[in-house]
Amino acid sequence: MNIPDLKTADFLLTKVKPEDSVDLFPIFKDKETMKYITPHPVTSLEQMDQKLDTMISLMKKGKEASWIIRPTNHNEAAGLFRFHKIHKWHQKAEMNAVLSPVYQNSGVMTQILPCVLSFGLKEMKLNRIAGDIFIENQGSRRLLEKNGFHCDGILRQTDFDGERFYDTAVYSILRDEYLGSEI
């Protein structure tokens, strides 16, 4: 699958490469940043390298599309966005984003989400894009709702962090809902 660079007014999304590990490691090791994603953030650069190796391997197989997010005015990593669990026959994928604490609640996702959704639904020809959100992650829930996602339902106690279970809300958007009359 060809994964092109994507650009918004303030951000450039480029396909993840092994050398991005150094820039993403501080984000992925931060327990507070990762609290809605995993109770076990990476603890070493080697673990980050392995995580990126897995993403790159899945990209080569057409099962994932991952981009590092960088501001256009400098080269620091703002975060990572990915479509994963891509299923070509069913024309669907899930999405995931991780942002540096510096860029959280600053409008990054508000700016890049329409860009990646357009790519996923038009270029990748996906029919459905989903996101599973921890119930407590109100910011992500608002973002998805603002961008036309539908809450398909609540899955009870789907994730465990070693101390407690968490409910997740499953959100999705369909091609015809997003593109409307463009189809």
Q: How do residues 52-86 score in pLDDT, each as one tens digit?
A: 999 999 999 999 999 999 999 988 999 999 999 99
19-60 residue pLDDT tens: 999 999 999 999 999 988 888 899 999 999 999 999 999 999
State the pTM of this model. 0.93
> Residue holding tokens 């609540």?
154
Residue 105, C-beta contacts closer than 8 angstroms, at least 6 positions apart: 139
Calculate what percentage of the chain has a pLDDT beyond 70. 98
| pLDDT for res 182 | 67
CA nearest neighbour of 32 among 81, 80, 99:
99
Mean pLDDT of 114-123: 96
Q: By C-alpha distance, which of 65, 91, 81, 105 is closest to 11?
A: 81
Domain 6-182 has CATH 3.40.630.30: yes
Predicted pLDDT at 181:
59
